[in-house]
Structure 1
Amino acid sequence: MANPEDEKSLQEELSLPILLGDRVIKAAQEAQSSKSDCSDVAKQVERLSAMLRAIVRLASATTTSSSLYDRPIRRILADVSKNLERALTLLRKCKKHGALFRHVFSITSAADFRKLSNLLESSIGDMKWLLSILDSSDGATSLSLPPIASNDPILAWVWSFISALQMGQLKDRADAANELASVANDNDRNKIIIMEEGGIPPLLKLLKEAASPDAQIAAANALVNIASDQHRVVEFIVESLGVPIIVQVLGDSPIRVQVAVANLVSKMAELGTIAQEEFVRVNVTRPLISLLCMDTVLDRPSIHSLVLNLTSSSSGSSSDHRKEREGESYEMKKKIKTSCAEALWKLSKGSEATCRKITETKGLLCLAKLIESETAELQFNCLMAVMEITVVAEFNAELRRVAFKPTAPAAKAVLDQLLRLIQNDQTDSVLQIPAIKSIGSLARNFPAKAPQIVGPLVAQLGSGNVDVAIEAAIALRKFVCPDNYNFACHSKAIIMEFDGVPSVMRLLQRNDRARKHGLVLLCYLAMNVGDSKALEQARALSTLKGLERPVLAQHPEMKELMTKAIDNLILYQTGAQLHRQVYNIRTIHDPSGSGCIFQPDE
């Protein structure tokens, strides 16, 4: 897009073709040769000049420069000016010259005049179309094509829709927004054209106006469809000061408008970290959590009071909207909660600031309650929001310690729901996988004795769904890796308390991805509890040796881990064999056992 500061004013743009038109007409009057052709050119230029002056009157009648849509005007004026310059050059050749020149010129000029006539006729067509969209009394859009857009009809339609959006009546503007949403939905190129031709600012303006909820919904839906990670579209919405407008409308609108706006927040947050950061800065989590907690019974009165405070606002209109929400159907309330949960999910991804705001405002407790009580998309979106928060907490010790403190009501509520989903045989894998991943992210938070946590994960190693089993292996790896302070205790629990080794060994046989993650878990267990009989009985050492070459060919980064695991098993199992050999020798030479220094295992 051109920088507005570098563009000439519209009056300056109009002055050049008008001046050129006057010069062409004068040149036609002074022509000494091809007078008939020059006269025809003058008539075409007179029509163009009249249209140009009509544009001037429209521009002068406009009260503010922003209400006149000038993108197609500037584009068409540039083309008109080029054609008028061609006309002036040709007609100046028709002035009085010698007889020889006039004879030579007359031979070559016929084709030039025909070409010029066609160009001027195209400019006339462009100007007629331009006036039709700028001076439409009913604000209706035009689907006719100007010659300038004959090779790219989308451009003309976008111009027409944006013109109606910027200059039409409220209903026409809503209709134009719906048309832009449809055009943008076709492909990414159309999204970029709408942005470059100035469609985003009038859509934001329409979204901000509270006179018509239908118009606001149309604007929000159009922005959802236009939003793209191509050519900085989302960044342009942010740079157009769209985020404060979006947050304001989200917090102070009828519920059906809020659904559309929450969807817009989700789309923008998903596509760009700049938008994500700006939403957090403007505190979009406040209205999102407020709407999410609507009608949700939280345990403690102080928490309920906080939720009521979140919904409060200084606007009188806000009170009206709260009353409207109280009378809304269950389906509509579920719809807004679903959209808000998705927005929190997308905003939380990789954002410590968002995660902190959610955990500091009881949003985490609300998410846990909805995971417990709801189903389908709402439950899934809440679970995904929790998962993204735990992923951020995994690499942020302070957030993990504060937000997921075991004694905190919100943390306990979340943990209970995650374990419920993991342990329930009827739970869909779509829910089990993020629940398992969340537990894995919090692995360093759990004490050395945590059978209620480790046990369900070990059980899922044998899940019939291989993706669930793999996710369980990944989660358990975080319990037994050296980064976990309690890795030794967790390793022993997996092997001895929950008999996890057979499940790990079976995981190695399921597919390549399962083999890789199963091997990583097996290596850590071998390093941490190398003297385990379960590992010896499962032939873990020979399995690791047999897989070493093919696995390292695909995953060379595992070399150090596998080498350490194999060396540790050799060390302990060789020691155990020597132990048994010495015992057998001593018992042979001293049948009474009085001289035996090794005691048999019970």
Structure 2
Amino acid sequence: MGEVEEKTIQDELAVTIQLADRVIKSAEEAESSKAECSEIARQVERLSQKLRSAARLATSTQWLYERPVRRIAADVTKNLDRALTLVRKCKHSGVLRQVFSITTAADFRKVSALLESSTGDLKWLLTIVDPDDINLTLPPIANNDPTLAWVWSYIATIQMGQLRDRVEAANALVLLAHKNDRTKKIVVDEGGIMPLLKLLKEGASADAQIAAANALFHIGNDEERVRSIADAAGVPIIVQVLGESVMRVQVNVANLVARMAEMDSAVREAFARENVTRPLVSLLSVDTVLVLDDPKLKPGKPSISSLVQFNKELAGKSAGHNSYNPSLNSVSSFTSSGGHSSLSVHSSSEGSSRGGHYRKDREVETPELKLKLKVCCAEALWKLSKDSVINSRKITETKGLICLAKIIEKEKGELQYNCLMAVMEIAMVAEQDADLRRAAFKTSSPAAKAVLDQLLRVIQEESSSTMKIPAIKSIGSLARTFPARETRIIGPLVAQLSNSDNEVAIEAAIALGKFVHPENFNRVEHAKAIIEFDGVPPLLRLLRTSERANIYGLILLSYLALHVGNSKALEQTQALSVLDSAIRSGVPQDYKELFARAIHNLNLYQAGVPTHRPSYPP
């Protein structure tokens, strides 16, 4: 059997009205407790009038907020049923009354109180579905849970109120739900997502869009609620607004994208299908000059056709998407110097009819707002690229890497950090995906070169461990892309083994371990380079700093022993003794075989045999 179709709100109210009429008729036919039944009839008549008013509003209102109407109608129906049962008992008198039932004054008082509560609920309901009526009191139904009534009131206003009231209600919803996950769940359960998305999409004012985006941001702080936003077709709306709105709206929408992407991997993929990375990269590149070693842009030959072709590549293939169709990024200048071609790329996002209007607005925005937008867009790209091949690929295909590299070079603080984290996440995805690694990080790629230069610069020049760590992790993830001759990468990583910040030193050891991992084709050459940069002494010192450092340091030392076991540096630093001592003191089971093989290999080249021999095959 198929699912039972839900009644319309008009049908539901009609059934309740009919029930009220039956109660009145039965009360009028009472043969006992006539005074009490007459009072019940009077109360139900008042209730019936309000039900009819609600039915008229439901018919005349185009986009009625139904949740409280259905909930209160159900509660009224239940109370009317109790009233009908009571007054029917009064249709008989004398002996028959005693035989069939007994009614008491307490029964009438209880039913009367329930009907009074229902009247109060309906009176309050009429105020929230009628914008011209104002009532600041709470309904009786909310006595045990006032939050529900406030949520109903705010959602009803967002859905049906005047624009200014809708903005105020969205902001009030944020204050109500702030740091209260239960309230956020109530907002979702009571249908608050759709009205907020409608307010965001309409674009009636920047303040309205900001209020809606901010409310969705605060509600969407867990996976389930973020999925609810996506299930309400929120992703296409959010991407469209991101591409079409004024800059201060875009800041809030980019924050919303970052929050949703962080909370749910499925939503990250939904954003990828709507090509959200394209407007984000475009906005991130506002006023940024990108220098490219691109054969299509030869110095001294900036033809119109080459400009158009490059511009098309920068804009990509978004024309096929209905939800977001930005125009091509504008190229404001083209110069040649030092064998490089220079492009000043500005955000356009002007595929919609609103784009031309907003372009002038962007030109007069404050540097502080532009910086804030870049920070938010970089964070969104960071969160979107995490564990996502498709988003990482789209970022690299839209010249996102070169943009990230340029910002890492020029900016400081939060913007630089967010860009480093975006590069790190893309690199971590590329580590597991050979196609992405070859396409985005091939050594001949200008973007890959630019990113690598900046990662090395951050490792060597930045004093902050917060900045160093993502740069080190990025290079470690890309270890398999570097040829044997690329020794300039090894030196800076070896230098970080002596860093006073233990976490930086550990990450350097982990990254170097990937260069000499058995799956790395150039492992032997990289191992030799580590030895040549005198990496063994600081590595052995690192082993003594912490348990985590000891494990990752021993892994790196074992790989060196396997690949360059005849090295004098390993012999002089007594690496064999260090590994033997480690395996004696007990190491995780996962690494015992690796350490045993390393000891065996060192024994082949070095004089003397350790006193401890593993009891299992090397």
Do these two structures clear the TM 0.5 threshold for a shared fold by scoring above it? yes
Matches within 5 A, 1:322-341: 322-341=359-378
* Residue of structure 2 equivalent to 1:119: 114
- 1:130-209 superposed matches below 5 A: 130-137=125-132, 143-209=136-202
Please name the residue that 1:213 is paired with: 206
Query: Of residues 528, 536, 541 in structure 2, which corresponds to 1:506?
Result: 541
1:541 paired to 2:576: yes
Q: Map of 1:139-538 to 2, 5 A cutoff?
A: 143-230=136-223, 232-300=224-292, 302=307, 306=314, 309-310=328-329, 311=348, 313-424=350-461, 426-495=462-531, 497-538=532-573
Amino acid at match of 2:237: I
| Preserved contact between residue 298 and residue 304 of structure 1 (Cα < 8 Å) | no
Which range moves more in the overlay, 308-317 or 173-182? 308-317
Decide whether the 8 Å contact of 1:32 with 1:95 is kept in 2: yes
Once the two structures are overlaid, the 10-residue window that deviates more, 429-438 or 355-364, is 355-364
Instruction: Give the structure with the larger helix fraction.
Output: 1
List per-residue Cα deviations over 1:504-562 (Å, max 9, x = no partner): 1111100111111111111111111212222222222222222214442xx21111111
What code does the residue aligned with 2:244 have? Answer: D
Residues 245-298 of structure 1: per-residue CA shift (max 9 Å, x gap): 111111111100111111111111111122111111111111111111110011
**Conservation of the 8 A alpha-carbon contact between 1:291 and 1:336:** yes
Give 1:109's aligned residue.
104
Q: Which amino acid aligns with 2:590?
A: E
Provide the C-alpha distance between the structure 2 equivalents of 1:466 and 1:112, rounded to a whole number of angstroms: 75
Equivalence for 1:60: 59
Does the Cα contact within 8 Å between 1:440 and 1:479 map onto a contact in 2? yes
Write out per-residue CA displacement over residues 441-471 of structure 1, whole angstroms, 9 at most, x where no aligned residue. 1111111122210000000001000000000
Counterpart residue number, 1:590:
none
Q: What secondary structure does 1:298 align onto?
A: strand
Q: 1:9 Cα deviation (Å)?
A: 0.8
CA contact (8 A) 1:33 1:102 kept: no
Q: Aligned partner of 1:134: which letter?
A: V
Residue 90 of structure 2 aligns to a residue in which SS?
coil
* Per-residue deviation, 1:103: 9.7
SS at match of 1:211: coil
8 Å Cα contact 2:473/2:511 also seen in 1: yes
Amino acid at match of 1:457: L
Would you say how many aligned residue pairs link Structure 1 and Structure 2? Answer: 564
Query: How high is the TM-score relative to the length of structure 2?
Result: 0.88
Q: Does the alignment pair 1:561 with 2:594?
A: yes
> Once the 2 structures are TM-superposed, how far is the Cα of residue 99 of structure 1 from its aligned partner?
3.6
CA distance in 1: counterparts of 2:435 and 2:8, whole angstroms: 55
How far apart in 1 are the matches of 2:609 and 2:311? 61
- 1: CA distance between counterparts of 2:227 and 2:482? 41
Distance 1:122 1:475, change over 3 A: same
| Alignment map for 1:66-105 (pairs within 5 Å) | 67-99=63-95, 101-102=97-98
Identity %: 60
Q: Determine the C-alpha separation between the residues in 2 that align with 1:29 and 1:188.
A: 50
Corresponding residue to 1:570 among 582, 603, 606: 603
Q: Which has the higher contact order (CA 8 A, sep 6+)?
A: 2
Q: 2: distance between equivalents of 1:538 and 1:36?
A: 105
Report how far residue 354 of structure 1 moved: 1.2
8 Å CA contact retained: 2:121, 2:140: yes
**Gapped runs of 5+ residues in structure 2?**
298-306, 316-326, 330-347, 611-618
Q: Does structure 2 retain, via aligned residues, the 8 Å contact 1:297–1:304? A: no
Distance in 2 separating the partners of 1:59 and 1:214: 29
What displacement does 1:209 show? 1.4
Point out the more displaced range, 93-102 or 399-408.
93-102
Q: Which runs of 5+ in 1 are unaligned?
A: 578-602
User: Deviations along 1:139-159, whole A, 9 cap, x unmatched?
Assistant: x6x553211121111111100
Structure 1 residues 370 and 176, CA gap change in structure 2 (3 angstroms): same
CA distance in 1, matches of 2:230, 2:33: 58
Q: Decide whether the 8 Å contact of 2:509 with 2:552 is kept in 1.
A: yes
In the TM superposition, what is the alpha-carbon distance from 1:20 to its structure 2 partner?
1.3
The one-letter amino acid of 1:216's match is: Q
After TM superposition, give the deviation of residue 104 of structure 1 in Å. Answer: 9.5
* Corresponding letter in the other structure for 2:542: L
CA distance in structure 1 between the partners assigned to 2:438 and 2:58 by the alignment: 62
Residue 581 (structure 1) aligns with: none
Match of 1:129 in 2: 124
> 1:462·1:503 contact (CA, 8 Å) conserved in 2?
yes
1:178: how far off?
Answer: 0.8
Q: Deviations over 1:122-180 (max 9, x none)?
A: 11111111112112317x6x553211121111111100000000110001011111112
CA distance in structure 2 between the partners assigned to 1:533 and 1:484 by the alignment: 23
Q: Per-residue CA shift, 1:187-227, capped at 9, x if unaligned?
A: 22222211111111111111011221000000000011111
Is the 1:143–1:160 Cα contact (8 Å) retained in structure 2? Answer: no
- AA matched with 1:32: E
Query: In the TM superposition, what is the alpha-carbon distance from 1:5 to its structure 2 partner?
Result: 7.4
> Which residue in 1 is equivalent to 2:333?
none
Is the contact made by 2:131 and 2:160 (CA closer than 8 Å) also made in structure 1?
no
One-letter amino acid of the counterpart of residue 182, structure 2: R
1:12 matched to 2:11? The reply is yes
CA distance in 2, matches of 1:532, 1:111: 98
Distance 1:386 1:104, change over 3 A: closer
Letter in 1 for 2:487: P
Q: Which residue of 2 aligns with 1:43?
A: 42
Report the residue type matching 1:354 in the other structure: N
Shift of 1:322: 1.0
The residue type paired with residue 148 of structure 2 is L
CA contact (8 A) 2:244 2:349 kept: no
- Equivalent residue number for residue 580 of structure 1: none
Assess if the C-alpha contact under 8 Å between 1:371 and 1:382 holds in 2.
Answer: yes
Larger radius of gyration: 1
- Asked if residue 32 in structure 1 is aligned to residue 51 in structure 2, the reply is no
| Corresponding residue for residue 591 of structure 1 | none
